[in-house]
Amino acid sequence: MEIFIRPTYDEMSRVAAQEVASILNTKPNAVFGMATGSTPLGVYRELVRMHQEGKLDFSQVTTFNLDEYVGLPVTHPQSYHQFMFEHFFQHVNIPKQNIYIPSGTTSNYLAFCQWYEDRIQECGGIDLQILGIGSDGHIAFNEPGSSLSSRTRLKTLARQTIDDNARFFDRRDDVPVYAITMGIGTILDARKILLLANGRQKATAIARAIEGPMTSMITASGLQMHPTVKVFLDDEAASELMMRDYYDWLEEKRPGAPS
Ligand code: PGA
């Protein structure tokens, strides 16, 4: 894993967005794995800005979102369909038919999950997967205990996740209990992975994911198995890392490394 730590959320978001932009600039028809939640908002804002300035063209891009709540219609203000439209898709030029988000209202979840996996393959696989992390160490809705080789499936949310996400709903009881989510195995198939975290409330999860033993209790730790993960953090999210000095040293020395 390569770890990039910046003093603020805005700086962290800017360098992470540069990473997405450089992939798009070398591969105009890239396939991106998209994440929801408050963490990637800064990256999306940056990408939208670059697009509006004419520096980024999404016209050949395909996207697959990580997850969706079960039971929320696509028009529900808290559905991830709505979130992605509001914060990203309505502002860039990705063709509608190239946007894939798991269905939270299908009548056959098993068949839908298989179709979603197949569709990712048929589109050539994901070039870059963007991820946030939950305070319980989850990525997508792969809650503690999820198999590190899991695939897209229906998942019951942990109480912690429901508590964390209750801030977006009128009442805690309104938070859906089930979600459809890519698995850890699905995520690990992406060619590159970009993990984002900011804020003190993510520091423990980040330390355990990056420096702890690999365990299904912290599903983000499964990323240790992937050869090309870049992690973008602000100072607060990095505050429990034991090897912080080393990560800063690596970043400083990387440009001078022999090729
Ligand atoms: P957040 O959620 O970005 O809103 O903190 C992250 C997650 O639960 O994966």
Spatial contact of 222 and 185, defined as CB atoms under 8 Å apart:
no
What is the per-residue pLDDT for 259? 86
Distance CA 121, CA 103 (A): 18
What is the per-residue pLDDT for 172? 94
Cβ(142) – ligand 1 distance below 6 Å? no
Look at the block and give the residue holding tokens 């089930």. 178
What is the per-residue pLDDT for 22? 97
Instruction: Please tell me the pTM assigned to this model.
Output: 0.97
89 C-alpha to ligand 1 centroid (Å): 19
Distance CA 122, CA 104 (A): 22
55 C-alpha to ligand 1 centroid (Å): 28
Cβ(133) – ligand 1 distance below 6 Å? yes
Cβ(134) – ligand 1 distance below 6 Å? yes
Question: CB 141: neighbour CB atoms within 10 A?
Answer: 26
What are the per-10-residue average pLDDT scores of the chain (259 residues)? 98 98 98 97 98 98 98 95 98 98 96 98 98 96 97 96 92 96 98 98 98 98 98 98 97 93
Nearest Cα residue to atom 1 of ligand 1: 37
Cβ(39) – ligand 1 distance below 6 Å? yes
- Write out the catalytic residue numbers: 67, 136, 138, 143
Q: Which of 133, 138, 152 is nearest to 217 (CA)?
A: 138
What is the per-residue pLDDT for 92? 98
